[in-house]
Amino acid sequence: MKFFPTLILSLIFSLTAWASQPSIYGKNGVVVAHDLEACQAGIEILKNGGNAVDAAVAVSYALTVTHPQAGNLGGGGFMLIHLADGQKVAIDYREMAPGEAHRDMFLDDSGRVVDQLSVRGGLAVGVPGTVAGMQLALDKYGSMSRKKVMKPAIKLARQGFQISYDLAYSFGWLNKAAEGFNETRRVFCRNGEIYMPGETFKQPDLAKTLKLIQKKGNAGFYEGAVATALVKSSSSYGGMITLADLQNYKPQIRKPVTGNYRGFEVSSMPPPSSGGITLISMLNMLEPMVFDSVGWHSAQHIQILAEVEKRAYADRSVWLGDPDYFSVPQEKLLSKEYARLRMTDYDSLSVTPSDSIYPLNDRDLAGIHLNGHESEETTHFSVIDQWGNAVSVTTTLNWSFGSYVTVEGFGFLLNNEMDDFSAKPGEPNSFGLIGNEANAIEPNKRMLSSMTPTIVSRDGKVVLVLGAPGGSTIITTVLQVINNMIDFGMPVHDAVNVPRFHHQWQPDVIYYGPGAISPDTAVLLKSMGYELTPRYGYGEVNAISRDKIFGGWIGAPDLKTASHGAAY
């Protein structure tokens, strides 16, 4: 096993090919997230005696202020918790379909999917879960009051923060894209007077909303003035969310899915996330492979991972959905025996065409060629505290700025998560992913997700906390970071920041980021029968790893996207 010995050598002697020293070290606690302000909000809570769950709630609310593209009150997500005593918990605060939603709501009279209907405007909005999810996490596993953990976010909204170049650029883009969404342009674009980098962005409407939640909890969001305005704003753009939908929303505590990879326990999110099962399925397929003589990102390495990824994504397309509505064959998909059978047709010298790979080996469920938009606008953050409690959180509005609908007078955007359902079983969604009956639209159902908050442990102790945004690339991104560390001995900072690639079964293409595949490797892969397509954007991995030299923790933000970390 290479993980810890190689990590120690690489840090002390800089002997690995990727050698670089970790940029963030904390003896007591670490937070890694998209924005520095959000990291500082979490560290403030940790320094004041809060645990990792308290800090995670603080970070989540802070991202609502500083990262409106994905941080949210009007969306949802998943929280994975590994407590120091070994207890593991998954909190599902994924959005739900409104009570009036129906299977064919995005189809025209001819049964064809209506373009953009599931991604823009009120009909795209699922019932938000973030506020209820944060409250559940705090009530069950936190140690601080809601008043304390929300204080940093309220301060950020009231006093403002300095707008980064990337956020200013996003606001400028939104000003053009959100034509017709007047409240969104008023709040985030000053009605066309674009914010410049370095300006202070204050959000008094959002501060008012956060203050109501701080005072009243769920009742400050799912009832009263905020709820009424949410329903009105959504319905004015064609939405169907009702006050009853908001009042009936409940987050769920679920059992994480777990697997074992080369002696490490991998815990991740269960359905309605597809992430955990798909990740562990891929690791099970990889485990018999020997990487000692395989070069990192050589043709052999890329071929192995691509073949594993396409098989797991084929299963994902049919067999994963909301477990409260669909019987997911979880035990089979997580079994090592099934993984072994899945790879019996693997040929190390050539490609296995995707059209010969069937979900759960069922020929009647052969895939459909598809293509679609890939979005990076989800956000992930990781937290560890002085006691060894770890939290991994992925949260989203789906597309950047969600549905473009801002709740009038309250300063927050609504999601467009209804696009993550199968608008028409067998048809791709905007991420190019196939969905079938398991993910068909039904009232009050949770839509399938690729979000994959993950925690790796050994002998009951956390060694790695990670996750990523990135649509359909999330799961393969998390897989490759784990593969980089365990099989190639990379320190966490390098495992996060080296280039990545992706295969999702359909279309039958290996997508690769800048520097991920060398020209000579590309020639070899093409000779084996692979189609290669360059693409930019492979998520934003925000990870934390146990430091085996000095004790404490190493934070690894994804520098490709200017992510941040803080520690103490």
The secondary structure of 240-306 as a DSSP string is ---HHHHHH---EEEPPEEEEETTEEEEE--TTBSHHHHHHHHHHHHTT---TTPPTTSHHHHHHHH
Check residue 439 and give its pLDDT: 86
If we measure between CA atoms, which residue out of 208, 40, 215 comes closest to residue 135?
Answer: 215
Predicted confidence band at 4 (pLDDT cuts at 50, 70, 90)? very low
Predicted confidence band at 436 (pLDDT cuts at 50, 70, 90)? low
Instruction: Please check the confidence at residue 6 and state whether its pLDDT lies above 50.
Output: no
Residue with tokens 């170049």: 165
- pLDDT for 98-151, tens place per residue? 999 999 999 999 989 898 999 999 999 999 999 999 999 999 999 999 999 999
Query: For the purposes of burial, counting CB atoms within 10 Å of the CB of 96, is it exposed (0-12), middle (13-18) or buried (19 or more)?
Result: buried
Check residue 538 and give its pLDDT: 78
The secondary structure of 96-137 as a DSSP string is B--TT--TTTTB-TTSPBPTTTTTSSGGGPPBP-HHHHHHHH
Cα atoms in the Cβ-side hemisphere of radius 13 Å centred on 282: 31
Pick the more confident residue, 544 or 426: 544
Binning the chain into helix, strand and coil, the percentages to the nearest 5 are 40, 15, 45
Question: 233 and 246 in contact (C-beta within 8 Å)?
Answer: no
Average pLDDT over residues 36-64: 98
Instruction: Please check the confidence at residue 372 and state whether its pLDDT lies above 90.
Output: no
Q: What is the CA radius of gyration of the chain?
A: 22
Tell me 199's DSSP state.
-
Instruction: Please check the confidence at residue 327 and state whether its pLDDT lies above 60.
Output: yes
Cα atoms in the Cβ-side hemisphere of radius 13 Å centred on 394: 32
Residues 220, 223: Cα–Cα separation, whole Å: 6
Pick the more confident residue, 369 or 75: 75
Name the segment(s) of the chain with CATH classification 1.10.246.130: 3-19+255-374+450-548
Query: For the purposes of burial, counting CB atoms within 10 Å of the CB of 499, is it exposed (0-12), middle (13-18) or buried (19 or more)?
Result: middle
Check residue 561 and give its pLDDT: 85
Predicted confidence band at 484 (pLDDT cuts at 50, 70, 90)? very high
Instruction: Please check the confidence at residue 249 and state whether its pLDDT lies above 80.
Output: yes
Q: Which CATH architecture has domain 3-19+255-374+450-548?
A: Orthogonal Bundle (1.10)
Residues 6 or more apart in contact with residue 6 via CB below 8 angstroms: 16, 489, 490
Predicted confidence band at 466 (pLDDT cuts at 50, 70, 90)? very high
Check residue 297 and give its pLDDT: 98
Check residue 264 and give its pLDDT: 98
Instruction: Please check the confidence at residue 365 and state whether its pLDDT lies above 90.
Output: no
Average pLDDT over residues 359-383: 63
Q: Please state, for a pLDDT cut of 90, what percent of the chain lies above it.
A: 83
Check residue 320 and give its pLDDT: 85
Residues 264, 487: Cα–Cα separation, whole Å: 12
Check residue 431 and give its pLDDT: 57
Average pLDDT over residues 405-415: 98
- pLDDT for 521-540, tens place per residue? 999 999 999 999 998 877 89
Residue with tokens 């204050």: 202
Q: Please state, for a pLDDT cut of 70, what percent of the chain lies above it.
A: 91
Check residue 369 and give its pLDDT: 35
- pLDDT for 7-49, tens place per residue? 333 333 333 344 454 579 999 999 999 999 999 999 999 999 9
Instruction: Report the mean per-residue pLDDT for the chain.
Output: 91
**Identity (one letter) of the amino acid at 249?**
Y
Instruction: Please check the confidence at residue 303 and state whether its pLDDT lies above 70.
Output: yes
**Identity (one letter) of the amino acid at 285?**
M
Catalytic residues: 378
